[in-house]
């Protein structure tokens, strides 16, 4: 089912496909999900990053309904499918009267990051009602223009073909996906290489993880497994990211007294057992993870938001999937970095603003009244961070809503 529009809007958890004929060097567009829960009244706010600060630009109405159910990890990605067309895809978990089972809104990107809505799309097989969350992931390869959306109420992953000229979506399939303890998908990530039969990786928030073979949007499940951290001491993988070489899925665990990451090999037959890195530092809660755009000294940085203690931590991952500490930090930088006090309750999704090496800066969403976005500088040589003066930057249009963030331009994988 589809509803079309040409209004300028955004919606909840954003996934973006865009190139940058309109992008200015050293700048970026930062989008945050405001998660307004009044029916049909959700908005997403746009900030401009200008190198040293974030400037609030405007909220954009979604015409549908968000929900701030939990500190949902990375559900937003940025890609480039052509040199001229930019697309944005966004989910509204609660939907509206036209889409009572939730929807995905599609947009084209215009000058200065302004968006024009192309239409809203649901899962035509879904009869289960609205959702507590609706997670997105995109296949970033130019030859595979696919969007994946997990509808929590029906426990299915819907896949859509993207028209890379118009940004319209065409539904392809819906595949059941439930964790071993009955959990629903918290985060998804796509292996954007050709190493492993095009895998979609899922974390369920119940201790289990799984991958699906993707053939043109048709998904075939591989065996779900419990993570080593969950088996050992009840840690729960939530946030996830996938390394550029497509060989490793990195999971950020919650429910632990310290920062905890797990790494699973992505194999043709499914995910291999995870290696659990518990007690990485004293910062608490680690539900969100993002990898640096490029390697520094042969390793990528692993950035984590510590939802309980209110920090940002940095680690390193090698090509062999081994996690090690980052640093030591240079003058003026720390690891972990305590986020500046404000009216927020906990930090959530994060994203780099640059497209090479360390990524230059991090933006971090902060759930609160009002919600806000923190901006941190990254020391390229060490991965350590420092929050900039004047941060965080308030989003007056979001009260207890910010969980997700996306940035244009984004990293190349």
String of DSSP letters for 340-363: PPSSEEEEEEEEES-SSTT-SEEE
What is the spatial distance between Cα 261 and Cα 90, in angstroms, rounded to a whole number? Answer: 28
pLDDT at residue 9, as a whole number: 37
* DSSP string over 51-118: SS-EEEEEEEE-SS-----S-------EE--SSS--EEEEEETT--SS-TT-EEEEEEE-GGG-EEEE
Apex 216 CA angle, 214 and 222, nearest 5 = 15
CB atoms under 10 Å from CB of 300, counted, come to 26
Question: DSSP strand E in 191-341: where?
Answer: 199-203, 208-215, 218-221, 225-226, 236-242, 248-254, 261-267, 270-271, 275-277, 288-291, 300-306, 311-317, 323-325, 337-338
Tokens 């492993």 correspond to 196
Nearest by Cα to 277 from 249, 253, 248, 308: 253
Identify the pLDDT of residue 18.
46
Asked whether the beta carbons of 242 and 236 are under 8 A apart, the reply is no
Question: What pLDDT is stored for residue 105 in this prediction?
Answer: 84
Helices (H) and strands (E) in the chain, counts: 1, 34
The whole-number pLDDT of residue 36 equals 84
What does DSSP say about strands 146-151 and 156-162: parallel, antiparallel, or unpaired? antiparallel
- The per-residue pLDDT for 83 is 57
229 — phi, psi (to 5°)? -65, -35
Quick one: 269 exposed, middle or buried, by C-beta within 10 A (0-12, 13-18, 19+)? exposed
Distance between CA 189 and CA 230 in Å, rounded? 20
In degrees rounded to 5, what are phi and psi of residue 232? -75, -40
Residues of the chain with pLDDT under 70: 1-26, 69-85, 142, 194-197
Q: How is residue 369 written in tokens?
A: 């009244």
Tell me the whole-structure pTM to 2 decimals. Answer: 0.93
Alpha helices in 111-202 (DSSP H): none
CATH code of 2-408, in short, is: 2.130.10.10
Joined together, the tokens standing for residue 91 give 């989910």
Helix (H, G, I), strand (E, B) or coil at 166: coil
Task: Evaluate whether 115 touches 90 at the Cβ level (below 8 Å).
Answer: no
Domain ranges of the chain: 2-408
Taking the C-alpha atoms of residue 265 and residue 285, their distance in angstroms, rounded to an integer, is 23
| Cβ-Cβ contacts under 8 Å for 320 (sequence gap 6 or more) | none
The Cα–Cα gap between 208 and 13 comes to: 23
Other Cβ atoms closer than 10 A to 222: 17
Task: Give CA–CA dist 403/373, Å, rounded.
Answer: 10
Beta pairing partners, 270: 267
């Amino acid at each position: 089912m589809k509803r079309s529009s040409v209004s300028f809007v955004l919606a909840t958890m954003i996934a973006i496909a865009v190139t940058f004929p309109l992008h200015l060097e050293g700048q970026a567009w930062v989008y945050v999900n405001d998660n307004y829960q009044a029916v049909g009244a959700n908005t997403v706010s746009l900030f401009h990053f200008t190198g040293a600060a974030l400037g609030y630009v405007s909220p954009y109405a979604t015409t549908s309904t968000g929900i701030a159910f939990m500190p949902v990890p990375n559900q937003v990605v940025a890609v480039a499918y052509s040199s001229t067309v930019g697309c944005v895809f966004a989910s509204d978990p609660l939907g509206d009267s036209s889409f009572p089972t939730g929807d995905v809104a599609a947009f084209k990107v215009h000058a200065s990051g302004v968006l024009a809505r192309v239409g809203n799309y649901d899962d035509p097989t879904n009869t289960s009602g609205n959702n507590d969350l609706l997670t997105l992931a995109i296949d970033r390869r130019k030859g595979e223009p696919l969007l994946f959306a997990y509808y929590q109420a029906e426990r299915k992953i819907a896949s859509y073909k993207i028209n890379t000229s118009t940004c319209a979506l065409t539904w392809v399939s819906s595949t059941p996906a439930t964790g071993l303890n009955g959990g629903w998908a918290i985060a998804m990530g796509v292996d954007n290489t050709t190493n492993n039969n095009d895998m979609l990786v899922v974390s369920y928030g119940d201790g289990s993880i799984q991958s699906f073979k993707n053939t043109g949007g048709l998904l075939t499940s591989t065996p779900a497994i419990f993570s080593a951290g969950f088996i050992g001491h009840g840690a729960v993988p939530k946030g996830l990211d996938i390394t550029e070489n497509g060989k490793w899925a990195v999971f950020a665990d919650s429910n632990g007294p310290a920062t905890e990451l797990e790494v699973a090999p992505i194999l043709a037959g499914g995910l291999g057992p995870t290696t659990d890195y518990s007690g990485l530092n004293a910062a608490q809660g680690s539900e969100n993870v993002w990898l640096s755009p490029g390697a520094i000294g042969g390793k990528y940085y692993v950035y984590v938001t510590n939802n309980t203690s209110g920090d940002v931590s940095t680690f390193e991952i090698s090509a062999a999937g081994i996690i090690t500490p980052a640093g030591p930090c240079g003058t003026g930088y720390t690891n972990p970095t305590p986020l500046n006090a404000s009216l927020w309750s906990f930090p959530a999704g994060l994203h780099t603003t640059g497209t090479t090496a360390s990524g230059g800066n991090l933006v971090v969403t902060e759930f609160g009244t009002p919600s806000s976005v923190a901006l941190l500088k990254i020391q390229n040589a060490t991965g350590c961070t420092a929050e900039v003066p004047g941060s965080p930057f308030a989003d007056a249009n979001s009260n207890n809503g910010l969980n997700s963030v996306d940035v244009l331009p984004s990293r190349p994988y």
